[in-house]
Amino acid sequence: MVVTLIFTALASLIIIGSTIAFTIITSLVGIGLMSSYLICIGCLISRRLRQEPLPPSRFSLGRAGLYINIMAFCFLCLAWVMLFFPSAPNPTPQSMNWVILIFGSTVSFSMLYYWLRGRHKYVGPVELIKSE
């Protein structure tokens, strides 16, 4: 708990040094969060459109679930794109939002690493457990 407090306090000091760095970090966090939501909701939409069964849950939206997922996906796509824009019009190179470069480089490196090495070494989780 103390480590989390110290890390959060140090990360909060970034805004004192550079508001641009703070904006880039918060945009990058938002893009990562939006990307994870887009992947999850996209998988749900895909399963619903192929009429595959969803795992059992305590709460269901029924038939409205597909439409709500599609609306959420469209909203997240718009929000995801907007997070790449600079915070003010006519930015200078110093105030430009460089998140697209950071995010694109990270995704490109990850995909290249997986294609070259990860797909040969990665062992995925167990999908089905049979009881005996």
Please report the pLDDT score of residue 62 as a whole number: 84
**How far, CA to CA in Å, does 33 sit from each of 43, 51, 80, 84, 105?**
16, 27, 9, 13, 17
Whole-model pTM: value is 0.77
Residues 46-96 have pLDDT tens digits of: 999 999 988 888 888 888 999 999 999 999 999 999 988 887 888 888 878
126 DSSP 8-state letter: P
Please report the pLDDT score of residue 132 as a whole number: 67
**How far, CA to CA in Å, does 114 sit from each of 35, 107, 119, 130?**
18, 10, 6, 30
Residues 110-132 have pLDDT tens digits of: 999 999 998 898 888 887 777 76
Distance CA 30, CA 84 (A): 10
